[in-house]
Amino acid sequence: MSDIPVSAPAPSMDDLPDFSTRVRGAVSSSPFYMGVVLLLLVAFFSFTHPATFASSFNVRNIFLDASVLLVLAVGTTYIMIAGGFDLSIGSVLVFSGVAAAQVMLMVGSTDNLGTVAIGFIVALASGAAWGAFNGFCITRLRVSALISTLGSMGAALGAAYLLSDGSDIRTVPDALIALGHGTVGGVPWLVVIAALVTLVGGVVLHMTVFGRHTFLVGSNPEASRRAGINVSRHLLKLYMLSGLLAGFAAMLSLGRFSTTTLEGHANDPLEAITAVVLGGTALTGGRGSIIGTVVGVFIPAVLANGFIIMGVQPFWQMVVIGFVVIAAVYADQIKRGRGERL
C-alpha cells in the first residue's frame, strides 16, 4: 500500500494504447462479462431447443421485442452516465404516441407517407418538450432528477389520458403499420431502425466531444464546471435527447401495435434502467457504454423467451433478472473497490 512506486515506469510515448493493453481493458470490463453471460444463455437455449429457440422466426421475435426498449435504453445510457435519472420515458412515449396519432388522424389520408412524417415530427417534438421540462426542473429549479422525472412520469401519462379521453387510439396510418411490420432483406424495419439509432448513439457517446462531456459531467460536475463546461446546458440537452428518443420509440411502437398502448409502458423506464445497469453503467455516473446497454437489453429478452420455450413460467425471468441486477452491481463494486485501493 505504498503511495507511489519509487521508480514508476515512464509513460508510454505511443499515441494510442498498445493492442494488449486495450484487450486487457476490454476483457476486464462489465460489458465483456455480461456479453459472456448473454452468449452462454444463447448457447444453452440454442443447444437444448434448437428447433424452437434458434429458429429464424423466434430470433426475429426477440429482436423485434427488444427494438423499442433498445431505443429508450440508448437515451437512458446517456442520462445515467451523466449521473442522472429519467423515470418519465414510458409516459413520455405514451404521450408522444397519443399526440402523434391524433395529429395524424386530423391530417387524414391514412396511407400517406407525408402523414407519417408529420406524426414523427409531432412525436419527436412532444418527446423533446417533456425532456426540456425535465431538464428545466433539474437544472434551473434544482429539484432532484428522481423527483422531477417521477413528477413528469405521472403528469405525462395523465395528459395522455386527457388527450385520448382514456381510451386507446387504434387508427394508425397504413404506411406506419407497413413500416412496423415490413422487412428489409428478411430483417424487420424496426430492428434496422433501432440498430441504426444504437449505432449513432454509440458513435456520438464514445467518439465525440458531446459524448466526452457526458462522461465528465457524470464523473465530477464541479470539476467540469471549473473546466468551463456548461453543465446545466449539457444536462438539459441530455434530458431532451432522452425525451426525443422516447418520442421516436413511440412511433416505432405505434407502427408495431397499431394502437397507442396507454397501459403498456409503465415498466419501460425500469426495464431501461435495468438494461443500462446490467451493461455496466455506474449508477453514480462517469462510466458506461452503449455496447453494454445492448447486452443489458438482450439478457432479459433472451431469458424471457428461453423460459417460455422451455415451458418455465415466464415470471421466473423477472425473479432471475431482479437478482442478476443486484449481483452485477455488487460484482462491479468489488472490482472497482479493488481498483481504487491500488
Amino acid (one-letter) located at 308: I
| Angstrom distances, CA of residue 248 to CA of 193, 204, 280 | 10, 18, 25
Q: 48, 55, 109, 208: which one contacts other proteins (CB under 8 A)?
A: 208
Q: Tell me the Cα Rg of the chain.
A: 21
Site string for other proteins, 270-289 (x = CB under 8 A): ------------x--xxx--
Smallest separation, CB 44 to other proteins (Å): 34
Exposed, middle or buried: residue 162 (CB in 10 Å: 0-12, 13-18, 19+)? exposed
Amino acid (one-letter) located at 39: L
Smallest separation, CB 111 to other proteins (Å): 36
How many residues line the site for other proteins (CB under 8 A)? Answer: 41
What is the residue whose three cell numbers read 386507446?
168
When asked if residue 32 is in the footprint of other proteins (CB under 8 A), the reply is: no
Smaller CB distance to other proteins: residue 170 or 212? 212
When asked if residue 46 is in the footprint of other proteins (CB under 8 A), the reply is: no
Interatomic CA distance for residues 276 and 279, integer angstroms: 5
Which triple of cell numbers denotes residue 133? 421540462
Q: 5, 108, 166, 185: which one contacts other proteins (CB under 8 A)?
A: 5
Smaller CB distance to other proteins: residue 53 or 215? 215
Q: Nearest to residue 83, comparing CAs of 35, 27, 139?
A: 139
Q: Which stretch binds other proteins (CB under 8 A): 15-23, 52-60, 135-143, 156-164?
A: 15-23
Q: Which stretch binds other proteins (CB under 8 A): 66-74, 160-168, 214-222, 305-313?
A: 214-222
Q: Which stretch binds other proteins (CB under 8 A): 18-26, 171-179, 307-315, 321-329?
A: 18-26
First CA to last CA distance, the chain: 7
Question: Could you tell me which residues come within 8 angstroms of residue 341 by beta carbon, excluding any fewer than 6 positions away?
Answer: 1
Smallest separation, CB 151 to other proteins (Å): 29
Tell me the backbone φ, ψ of residue 255, rounded to 5 degrees: -65, -35
Smallest separation, CB 147 to other proteins (Å): 25
Q: Which stretch binds other proteins (CB under 8 A): 99-107, 111-119, 216-224, 272-280?
A: 216-224
Residue 95 CA, distance from chain mean position: 18
Q: 51, 106, 141, 209: which one contacts other proteins (CB under 8 A)?
A: 209
When asked if residue 20 is in the footprint of other proteins (CB under 8 A), the reply is: no
> Is residue 258 helix, strand or coil?
coil
Site string for other proteins, 292-321 (x = CB under 8 A): ------------------------------
Smallest separation, CB 2 to other proteins (Å): 9
Smaller CB distance to other proteins: residue 8 or 106? 8
Which DSSP helix (H) or strand (E) runs through 106?
helix 89-107
When asked if residue 12 is in the footprint of other proteins (CB under 8 A), the reply is: yes
| Angstrom distances, CA of residue 211 to CA of 76, 205, 208, 266, 291 | 13, 4, 5, 29, 14
| 140-143 contact pairs (CB < 8 A, 24+) | 140/232
When asked if residue 232 is in the footprint of other proteins (CB under 8 A), the reply is: no
Is residue 213 within 8 A of residue 86, CB to CB? The reply is no
- Widest distance between CA atoms in the chain: 76
Q: 96, 149, 198, 224: which one contacts other proteins (CB under 8 A)?
A: 224
Using CB under 8 A as the criterion, which residues of the chain lie in contact with other proteins when the complex forms?
3-5, 7-13, 15-17, 21-22, 25, 207-210, 212, 215-216, 218-220, 222-224, 226-229, 282, 285-287, 336, 339-340, 342
